[in-house]
Amino acid sequence: MAIEIDLSGRVALVTGGSRGLGRADALTLARAGADVVVADILVESDTSAAEEYGVLAQAAVAQGMVHSEATVEEIRSLGRRALALRCDVTDRDEVAAAVARTVDELGSVDILVNNAGTLDHVGQFHDQRQELWERDLRVNLTGAFNCAQAVWPHMKERKWGRIVNMASVAGTLGGFGQASYSTTKAGLLGLTRTLAMEGGRHGITCNAIVPGIIGTEAFHMANAAMNERIANRTVFKRPGEPQDIANAIAFLCSDLAGYVTGIELNVSGGVELFVF
């Protein structure tokens, strides 16, 4: 007998949900029955934050890859409730307001997917820039902390919650030319384990997804030769797809994963293995 993932009656908040992994996560959670809030620094009606958040955000605007409101419309077409909220995860007031509106309009916040992140600070260690190092810490690590802390009391009150942090193989293996990125992703693993230990008594699980090379918009904007080189390190000799990540997240957010917490789940095509 097939066992289906059923998130009916749950409300999910997905950060960085405008495109890439976050958009796939939001749509997949909705297909499984959840109502979804798509939170991002960029929404089609307000892309003013792009300059502040680097070349990938600017490229997303320039190339029409901002889909916050479009994703919400797609979710609503499935018969689910949905909101598109502009939210900077580094701003605790904006995070608090996003969570408050989620609870006010959708009734609860049961699932948090900490997907918002930056990954455009590339350069060998001696060339890493302090201001971008600090920005990456604020977005990738402190942003996840801010969001988790904002939803925590609501999950405790309901005695049920799912938090999924988006880590990376750069955090488990290191990343050449990615000192700030890999450091923040490694930090997320420590946060994940701690929230798992503290959340268990309240019915809250916390797990980390560890993606490898995934065929997002950012991947396709990168150097093609380098992409091929990295893809060839995987068992399958190809990048994964955003849906591969979203499927794993849907499972971790469901009752089927009620006894799974504190793990780092590699969805990486075996890139961490000794492949030759």
Give bridge partners of residue 207 from the DSSP assignment: 164
Runs of H (alpha helix) within the chain: 20-31, 54-62, 68-77, 92-106, 130-136, 143-158, 169-173, 179-199, 217-221, 224-231, 242-252
The percent of residues in the chain predicted with pLDDT above 70, rounded, is 94
Q: What pLDDT, on the 0 to 100 scale, is given for residue 236? A: 95
Q: What pLDDT, on the 0 to 100 scale, is given for residue 15? A: 98
CA-CA-CA-CA dihedral for 167, 199, 84, 32, to nearest 10: 90
Give the separation between CA 208 and CA 129, rounded to whole angstroms.
27
Give the separation between CA 262 and CA 206, rounded to whole angstroms.
6
* pTM for this prediction: 0.93
Mean pLDDT, rounded, of the chain:
92
64 burial via Cβ count (<10 Å: 0-12, 13-18, 19+): exposed
Give the separation between CA 50 and CA 48, rounded to whole angstroms.
6
The percent of residues in the chain predicted with pLDDT above 90, rounded, is 74
Distance of CA 120 to the CA centre of its chain: 16
Q: What pLDDT, on the 0 to 100 scale, is given for residue 75? A: 98
pLDDT tens figures, 153-165: 999 999 999 999 9
Q: What pLDDT, on the 0 to 100 scale, is given for residue 221? A: 75
Q: What pLDDT, on the 0 to 100 scale, is given for residue 49? A: 67
In this prediction, residues 89-115 reach a mean pLDDT of 98
SS3 227: helix
Catalytic residues: 181
pLDDT tens figures, 27-73: 999 999 999 999 999 898 877 766 676 666 666 677 777 899 999 99
SS3 236: coil
Domains of the chain: 11-267 (3.40.50.720)
Q: Quick one: pLDDT band at residue 222, thresholds 50, 70, 90?
A: confident
